[in-house]
Structure 1
Amino acid sequence: MTGRSSGVPLLRLGDVLITGLLNELDDKAAPTFTHGLTERISADRVRDVLIDISRLEIIDLFVARTLMESTTMARLLGARVIVAGMRPPVAITLVELGIELVGVETALNAEQGMAALGWHQSSQPPEGARHDAPR
């Protein structure tokens, strides 16, 4: 199930809620995103949250504060939070703005973030799938 009221998808995969942030987050979408995220954590009893920010090429104070507030609220609701895909200019700007993501783990990309949460990509086809081996 996904939520799109903020324009940002919220996808549940087991006990993990996966979402992302975009540069286009505005005054209306930011509170809607944060509210939707916290509501889903509470209603679905989500234990882990992965926020993919790989599409953020730069970050301004507004989006940085939204990220900080969202991760803090998620942690207060008992969720483990991983922020994945942070680009160097975003990391530099967060430090320059004095924004700290206290208690938040980071990963180089969403795949590594999911692995940190215990999800692993299988190199084998699903059971029952046809596999034509070279002869």
Structure 2
Amino acid sequence: MRILDFVKVLTLCILVPVMTSCGDDVVYETIQNTDEGLCAHTWTETYEMTNEENLAVTCVHQLKFAKLDYSGQEIYEYYYVGQSRPYSSLTRNFDWEWMDSAKEGLRLDFGAGNIVYFENVWVREHYLSGKLDGVEVTFADADYK
């Protein structure tokens, strides 16, 4: 009986450390947005809309960020359905900054008091998403296939 108790205790002593050491040993770094990730791409979203003449058009909306001087460009190109050249385009320059050290929001200053907020920003390898001036958007890297 004592031998059986000894074997049980020994087995328990071996199994407890083995079972408690199982698990994921990978240490995950905090997933945080970076200037490099934001500025490394031309971000593009494409959507269908109706223009001022009530015609269906395709809009290509782009954002470009520069780290060197914290400037950027917002570009809108409008295409008639089936056309490969835009019939109209609008380019606006802005200065940008992170809203705080958490880097989860951007402040885009277009000048003349025109400030737009890009909130809940997620910068990933090929995608940029968040709420731009109150509208949920998802941009893709223009070079991503």
Structure possessing the higher relative contact order (Cα contacts under 8 Å, 6 or more residues apart)? 1
Bigger fraction of residues in helix: 1
Q: TM exceeds 0.5? A: no
Q: TM-score, normalised by structure 1?
A: 0.23
| TM-score for the superposition, normalised by structure 2 | 0.22
Structure number, greater radius of gyration: 2
